[in-house]
Structure 1
Amino acid sequence: MNGINILLAGLAIVAATERKPRRVAMGLAGYAALVGLFLVLFGDLARSALLAIILGVTIAGASGVKHHHSGMKLAVADLALTFAGTIPFMLKQYRATAALTIAAAVLLAIAAIAAMALAAGPVLPFSERAALFALGIALLFATFYATGGAERWRRDVTARSGLFSFFMASLADIASWWPTGGLRMLDVGDVPLPLSPPLPARGAVRPDIIVIQHESVFDPRSYGLTVDERVADFLTPPGAHSGRLHVDIYGGGSWQTEFSLLTGLSSASFGPDSYFLFSKGAGRFAHSLPSELAALGYRSMLATSCRRNFLSYDAFYGGLGVEERVFSDDYPAPFDLEAFEATNSDADFFPATLGALSASLDRDPAPRFAMVLTNYNHGPHETRLVPAGTYEEERRIAESVLPDATYGEYYARLCETADSYAAFRAALLARHPERPMLIVRYGDHQPTMSRAIERAQNLRPDDPRQFETFFAIEALNFEADFEGLPERLDIAQLGTVALKAAGLPLDAVSATRLDLIEELGDRYVATPSERKRRFHRTLVEAGLIDLAPARNRPAPSPRRA
């Protein structure tokens, strides 16, 4: 087959797989750019066109794997994550998928070697090759801007189709991946927004605010799956304010959800830096939920199921002003760390956390903000963590609702979590019967197990519900202010809503956030809003978000840890 025929075959493959006109145009331009690149490297059209096909298939395959596990397609900026966390995570958590992916990569590499050895054709003069490469790059950028540019293509990240065209569009979106040396924020306006006036407190009560992140928990009822009364009460407690929560991630990256709750900002606003916010963002956010509560006399605490050396948790939470940081390797006996890490069971974690929280309150009775991070329902759900002989009936009923063993395991773990939380709540009230407390609970993201629901119900692979979990806000020993609070929230709004529900005063920043909720709805980053962009500019200019390169940053002020 000569070079022209191979080139035409590649163009036909792109047109057949991309389908929609905008994606077809971007895919064809991307394929032309790859052919031009290989022409410069190898000189002949036959090998260049064939290698471009192989690379395009590789990109589409890798993007499909990423979308399955994260709900988002592969972009150029993601390449930095490959060895920073993605490959080690896949090898540890999803070995079957990792093995198949590696096998496919080996086969494609063999195909590329064979193409270079066997498909050589006449070599073109370098001047012609360079001209064709320049033309391919020009076509790529022209098509990118003609089809909507960054604003349009960035919204395409969750769609399952257009795997190759999206990657090539992200290559043309230079601002999304070019190193900045500082922290990148994609939705900052040009003109600051005047802040709203601060809002006074509803009364004199200063309740403890206990935020519990339930790992990988979502509400099966959002997919029409029935749950028993215990799980229903756990997800939507009687007398509480509860509903659906939109999050930025799917399948993993819990720290991005934590970041959004703590800072009131969407992690997705930081583009390719979003995955690295706990390292790159340490000390860069001067306004946060802990800092606002500290101004009201609160003490703050982190209690997490991970070890102290996990990512940059210690430094990031310390940079937000969280004073007491308790990790799983800090819990005293009878907590058994080795046994706990075999399952991360909530039945073990909640009693240890109750002990740490109560000890902290005994040392200092000041109002407390506590962030509690569980890890029980994380995937893979092919592995059974619930002990044999427990929750067997619940597992059977779940599998009758959705005939899939991974859903049965998810639901059995969820039942254990519901019972463990109920015991924690009762023990907390028994040990502190008069302290007013606001308990804010939410799911950080859905597990990849929910793909089983997608298959069983024949849902679109980019169904927006895959980015929805749950939230519940419960008031103990005081009357919360739930008036006017929506039942659908974005994770970036949950901290502000908690302050409002607690009846606490809101400073000008949080008052502005509260005012923006109606305009933005439950899609903080995805809703086009000039006021939101201007609000971000206000935060940057006030020094509340530090985007500067590290060498230009002032030395951090000492913080208590």
Structure 2
Amino acid sequence: MNALLLWLAVAAVLAIAERQPARILLALAAFAALTALIMVFSGDLPRATLLAAILAATIAGASGVKHHHSGMKLAVADLGLTFAGTIPFMLRQYRLTATLTILGGLLLALAAVAVILLVPGTPLPLSERLAILALSIALYASAFYATGGSERWRRDVTVRTGLFSFFMASLIDIASWWPTGGLRMLDVADTPLPLLPPLPARHGIKPDIFVIQHESVFDPRSYGLAVDAEIAAFLSPPGAHSGRLHVDIYGGGSWQTEFSLLTGLSSASFGPDSYFLFKKGVGRFAHSLPSELMSLGYRSQLITSCRRAFMNYDPFYAGLGVEERVFSDEFPPPFDLVAFEATNSDAAFFGATEGALSSALDRDPAPRFAMILTNFNHGPHEVRLQPPGQYEDERSFARTVLDDATYAEYYARLKETAESYAAFRASLLSRYPGRPMLIARYGDHQPTMSRAIEKAQGIRPDDPRQFETFFTIEALNFEPDFAGLPETLDIAQLGTAALKAAGLPLDAVSATRLDLFAELGDRYVATPSERKRRFHRTLVDAGMIDLSATSKPLAAVPDRA
């Protein structure tokens, strides 16, 4: 009777938490399988049920924390990331959340010990326990496939509800987490797609192409929040092509956004390998934005606010053919690395970037591609980075729009970014009058402080806007080709859009990518498209994407810095 009451209570809790019939069905079947597995070792049903309930609560709690900070629920594949970077990152940047999470874990562990020591139960024969386990696993697998299988459950990753059922679905979706020697790509068809013919240049100009990633910057206007004129001009400059940008991540993991822009592929296509692409992907992508531009006579450069040792950036960018790679620990004086790393100020970074870029342009007048990575507006926004007395008017304005201290901090940093970029742009125009340049800028993801906006406005925490930032493409000293470019893009499309806007010739791969814009819209990975899957097959078959377990890395370009 006690076990029956426990099960009824658990079923009621799962029904309330999971909400949808498919999630409830899978959650109940998965919970039964967990209980049966634990009962093999505990011997009796009451203790196994309580221990399974504690484990389910732990999974749901961890998934809720992950969703808050990443916009995606916990999956089995994420467990490998825990010590690879997640826990150190949380302890360094979000100490309160990390501390509370660890404390909650300890309390659940103590509860489990108490159950083992204090709850009585009558052991069942081992043969019966094993039979129950086999039956429950069969029911668990049946529920998974009856509710849509991997195709249905993988789409559930960004929805805030169903924390337990999603994790248990990912557990039985073995293909989503089983280790592979090569890269795993989830959306590749069996037959290739013939590539379209290359597109000719629109004119004879080869403008410099500067791509600037504005760390954690999104457009407050997407939430109906007013901005001042300078920030409005920063987000959508007059005469530029600007709009909303869909990205694969929320709260962190900027390298996934960089990967998508550079390769024209969604990082999410690589499933559990997506977080590790800067390591596992070295030398595996033969076609990229830098390589296409270099085939047109461009020189290439990376300028980043990170140190050379960060996240395997140097080998990855080298593997894409980027010739010169300049890191923050290599900026010459008067740049002060110690002072910079206390705030990652855009005012300091754009000054150093101008020096590195100008040095390269003066040394070699060939058209140049530069990838420029800032780091100023990353969280947490509970910490004030600018000295008292600076940007007080902006903070006051932000508090009138949304009465939240973290939003005021975000807005003050955004104001410094807008001013610093404006000075950088003006200096380039003054130093190189008449030189054609195209500047593509974008936000890599939203910071977790945007949860404050959701709370204030009553927005669901899985609102699709959490994966939207901004992009803008500006043409300086030449006439761009913006015709036909949509106002909403996926990050995997931004590089191709920049090539098109520059009026440059597009090779067969980029011409095909451009043709897919209308079909895919601004959801590259989430849009079901057989042509996209066949396009990926073409790239794999041609060796432009190497998924093999025995990859031979492409020749990397030595650093010319």
State the TM-score, normalized to the length of structure 2.
Answer: 0.99
1:530 aligned partner? 530
Q: How big is the shift at 1:559?
A: 2.8
Match for residue 262 of structure 1? 262
Report what 2:552 is aligned to: 554
Q: Secondary structure at the match of 2:442?
A: strand
> Which residue number in structure 2 is paired with residue 26 of structure 1?
26
Residue-by-residue CA offset, 1:228-250 (whole Å, 9 max, x unaligned): 00000000000000000000000
Partner secondary structure for residue 310 of structure 2 = coil
Deviation at 1:82, TM superposition (A): 0.7
Contact 1:3 1:121 in 2 (8 A): no
Q: Which residue does the alignment assign to 2:395?
A: 395
One-letter amino acid of the structure 2 residue matched with residue 24 of structure 1: I
Q: Deviation of residue 105 (structure 1)?
A: 0.4
Q: How far apart are residue 556 of structure 1 and its match?
A: 3.7
Q: Is the 8 A contact 1:256 1:275 kept in 2?
A: yes
Kept after mapping to 2: 8 A contact 1:44/1:124? yes
CA shift for structure 1 position 312: 0.6
Q: In 1, distance between residues paired with 2:129 and 2:523?
A: 46
Deviations 1:184-229 (A, max 9, x none): 1100111100001100001110000000000000000000000000
Alignment of 1:341-490 (within 5 A): 341-490=341-490
Contact 2:318–2:556, Cα closer than 8 Å, also in 1: no
8 Å contact kept, 2:43–2:124: yes
Q: Distance in 1 between matches of 2:552 and 2:99?
A: 46
Q: Which residue of the partner structure matches residue 545 of structure 2?
A: 545
Distance across 2 between alignment mates of 1:497 and 1:74: 33
Q: Which residue of 2 aligns with 1:306?
A: 306
The verdict on how the C-alpha distance between 1:555 and 1:368 changes in structure 2, with shifts beyond 3 A counting, is closer
Counterpart position of 2:338? 338
Deviation at 1:5, TM superposition (A): 2.7
Determine the C-alpha separation between the residues in 2 that align with 1:225 and 1:16. Answer: 34
Find the aligned partners of 1:13 and 1:71 in 2 and give their Cα distance: 24
Inter-partner Cα distance in structure 2 for 1:493 and 1:284: 20
Aligned counterparts of 1:374 and 1:71: Cα–Cα separation in 2: 22
Query: Which whole-Å deviations, capped at 9, do the CAs of 1:482-510 have from their partners, x for residues lacking one?
Result: 01110000000000000000000000000
What secondary structure sits across from 1:448 in the alignment?
A: coil
Corresponding residue for residue 240 of structure 1:
240
Aligned-partner Cα distance in 1 for 2:399–2:233: 21
Runs of at least 5 residues in structure 1 that lack an aligned partner in the other structure: none
1:294-349, CA deviations, whole angstroms, 9 ceiling, x for partnerless residues? 10011100000000000110010000000100000010000000000000000000
Rounded Cα–Cα distance in structure 2 between residues aligned with 1:265 and 1:42: 48
RMSD over equivalenced CA pairs, Å = 0.9
Deviation (angstroms), 1:15: 1.8
Confirm or deny: 8 A CA contact 1:211 1:370 kept in the other structure.
yes
Contact 2:297 2:367 in 1 (8 A): yes
Could you say which residue in structure 2 is the equivalent of 1:78? 78
State the one-letter code of the partner of 1:453. I
1:328 corresponds in structure 2 to 328
SS across alignment from 1:474: strand
Does structure 2 retain, via aligned residues, the 8 Å contact 1:300–1:323?
yes
SS in 2 for 1:314: helix
Taking the TM superposition and a 5 Å limit, the aligned residue runs for 1:173-322 are: 173-322=173-322
Which residue type is aligned with residue 243 of structure 1? G
Give the secondary-structure state (helix, strand or coil) at the position aligned to 2:311. coil
**Would the aligned equivalents of 1:159 and 1:462 in 2 still touch at CA under 8 Å?**
yes
Q: Whole-Å Cα distance in 2 between the matches of residues 252 and 16 of structure 1? A: 30
Per-residue Cα deviation, 1:434-477 (whole angstroms, up to 9, x for no partner): 21100000000000000000000000110000000000000011
| Cα offset, 1:558, TM superposition | 5.0
Native 8 Å contact 1:188 1:534 kept in 2? yes
Would you say the 8 A contact 1:211–1:439 is kept in 2? yes
- Would you say the 8 A contact 1:437–1:476 is kept in 2? yes
Deviates more, 1:36-45 or 1:539-548: 36-45
Is 1:119 aligned to 2:137, yes or no? no
| 1:174 Cα offset (Å) | 0.8
2: CA distance between counterparts of 1:131 and 1:517?
Answer: 53
> Equivalent residue for 2:160?
160
Q: Distance in 1 between matches of 2:552 and 2:464?
A: 41
Q: CA deviation at 1:12?
A: 2.3
Match of 2:9 in 1: 9
**Is contact 1:301–1:371 with CA below 8 Å preserved after alignment?**
yes
- Between the aligned partners of 1:444 and 1:555, the Cα distance in structure 2 is 27
1:476 alignment partner AA: L
Preserved CA contact (<8 Å) 2:293 2:369: yes
User: Are the counterparts in 1 of residues 215 and 374 from structure 2 also a CA contact under 8 Å?
Assistant: yes
Amino acid at match of 1:328: S
The 5 Å alignment of 1:494-509 reads 494-509=494-509
Task: State how many pairs are aligned.
Answer: 559
Structure 2: runs of 5+ lacking an equivalent: none
* Amino acid corresponding to residue 437 of structure 2 in structure 1: M
Q: Displacement, 1:46?
A: 1.0
Match of 1:105 in 2: 105
Kept in 2: contact 1:246–1:468 (CA 8 A) = yes
Q: Is the Cα–Cα contact under 8 Å of residues 262 and 289 in structure 1 kept in the other structure?
A: yes
Matched, 1:51 2:51: yes
Further displaced range: 492-501 or 172-181: 172-181
Task: Measure the CA separation in 1 of the matches of 2:8 and 2:368.
Answer: 66
Contact 1:26/1:144 (8 A) holds in 2:
yes
The letter for the 2-side match of 1:174 is: I
What do residues 33-75 of structure 1 show as CA deviations (whole Å, max 9, x unaligned)?
1001101122111111110000000000000000000000000
Runs of at least 4 residues of structure 1 off by over 3 A? none
Rounded Cα–Cα distance in structure 1 between residues aligned with 2:367 and 2:92: 40
In the alignment, is residue 133 of structure 1 matched against residue 142 of structure 2?
Answer: no
Percent identical residues = 75
Structure-1 separation of matches of 2:120 and 2:37: 16
Distance in 2, Cα, partners of 1:457 & 1:188 = 40
